[in-house]
Amino acid sequence: MATVRIATFNLENFDETHPDERPSLEERIALTRPQITRLRADIAYFQKVHGQERSGQPRALLALRSLLHGTNLDGAETVSTETSDGGVFDERNLVVATHHRITDHEQIANKLVAWPLYKRLTANPPDAQAQPISLERPILHVQIEVDGGLLHVINVHLKSKIPTDVPGQKIDNFTWRSHSSLSKTTGKGRVCGREAA
């Protein structure tokens, strides 16, 4: 039986920065690269990796490549979540990196049933119609050949616990009028969770 070291990193909006923005990408790389080196992962999961654009080229994970340079994952094969045209997303990509052979991968999203509907009764004014509750974040399923066998790995980044605005219920950027003013989201301002139960 093979021993496989697996590590996971939520890189929190990992992207190039403006010259006056802190911490800069270089500062973040200087902090994170030694952790990747120290862990010596055979397979690494990354969440919240942003894609970068270059003139005349498709969006790519250039900041992540810079991070992995000089680590044991330098030059590793990577797969990531993709847009419908096969490019990487502008924001919040899931990525798996490994030197083992990746035999297959798929991006999993709900295609089986209609999204449930939810009506925000605490909105001011209340929603006139129920809105679909959808998931913005897909799951990345990757099959990797390890020591003659097949290892299935799943990379997922669940929505944080940060509440989303309910119309008319937020006083300022960090203050809500009441507990019923809070809603949990799955992305794109759509609600889910305890309110829909």
Domain ranges of the chain: 1-99, 101-197
* pLDDT (0 to 100) of residue 187: 40
- How is domain 1-99 classified at the architecture level of CATH? 4-Layer Sandwich (3.60)
Using the predicted structure, report yes or no on whether residue 57 has a pLDDT greater than 50. yes
* pLDDT band, very low/low/confident/very high, at 183 (cuts 50, 70, 90): low
Element (H, E) at 47: strand 43-49
Give the pair of three-digit tokens for residue 86.
């096969």
Give the pair of three-digit tokens for residue 66.
């810079």
* pLDDT (0 to 100) of residue 193: 33
* pLDDT (0 to 100) of residue 58: 83
Give the pair of three-digit tokens for residue 150.
């097949």
Kindly report the backbone phi and psi dihedral angles of residue 32, in degrees, each rounded to the nearest multiple of 5, phi listed first.
-90, -35
More confident of the two residues 94 and 184: 94
Kindly report the backbone phi and psi dihedral angles of residue 110, in degrees, each rounded to the nearest multiple of 5, phi listed first.
-65, 115
Please tell me what DSSP assigns to residue 183.
Answer: B
Q: Which pTM was predicted?
A: 0.75
Using the predicted structure, report yes or no on whether residue 114 has a pLDDT greater than 90. no
Using the predicted structure, report yes or no on whether residue 197 has a pLDDT greater than 80. no
